[in-house]
């Protein structure tokens, strides 16, 4: 016994409904655009001072960050001055360069303190990050 529904399928579909397919594609497009636009990079927000001359930072450089509130970070982790001193001793033994990233609103005294500490402990290369 044959049903009427099966007979229609044997002769093929008379029309293809594209509207649901277009709706799904638009929803996927909106989803992809909305997720890529709201990606926020984690880290510490800094406004670096400007300079005319600058060089590219080599990989393997220890980055010390001084925020606008004069807090010191190493690789986005807060650190005390005592712990920074022991870390700089290890960096001096490995002959690794140091890069100081300082906010333009940070205290110059804090940056100079870190710079002097690194030089006293024997770090050969201390740099300051700037923007062009």
* Confidence at residue 26, expressed as pLDDT on a 0 to 100 scale: 94
Quick one: CA torsion of 113, 89, 56, 48, rounded to 10 degrees? Answer: -30
Give CA–CA dist 66/56, Å, rounded. 20
Q: CA torsion angle for 78, 56, 53, 72 (degrees, to 10)?
A: 0
Look at residue 109 in the predicted model and tell me its pLDDT: 86
Q: Hey, what domains does the chain have and what are their CATH numbers?
A: 4-37 (no CATH), 62-128 (3.30.420.270)
Q: What is the pLDDT of residue 47?
A: 60
From first to last of its 132 residues, the chain has per-residue pLDDT tens of 555 555 555 555 667 778 888 999 999 999 888 877 665 656 666 666 665 555 666 677 888 888 888 889 998 889 898 899 999 999 888 888 888 888 888 888 888 898 899 889 888 888 877 666
Are the C-beta atoms of 63 and 101 separated by less than 8 Å?
yes
């Amino acid at each position: 016994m044959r049903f009427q529904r099966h007979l229609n399928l044997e002769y093929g579909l008379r029309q293809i409904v594209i509207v649901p397919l277009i709706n799904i594609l638009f929803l996927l497009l909106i989803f992809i655009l909305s997720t890529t636009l709201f990606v926020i990079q984690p880290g510490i927000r800094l406004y670096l001072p400007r300079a005319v001359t600058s060089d590219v930072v080599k990989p393997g450089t220890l980055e010390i960050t001084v925020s606008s509130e004069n807090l010191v970070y190493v690789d986005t982790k807060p650190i005390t001055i005592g712990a920074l001193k022991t870390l700089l001793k290890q960096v001096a033994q490995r002959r690794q360069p140091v890069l100081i990233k300082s906010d333009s609103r940070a205290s110059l005294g804090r940056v100079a303190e870190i710079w002097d500490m690194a030089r006293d402990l024997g770090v050969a290369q201390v740099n300051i990050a700037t923007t062009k």
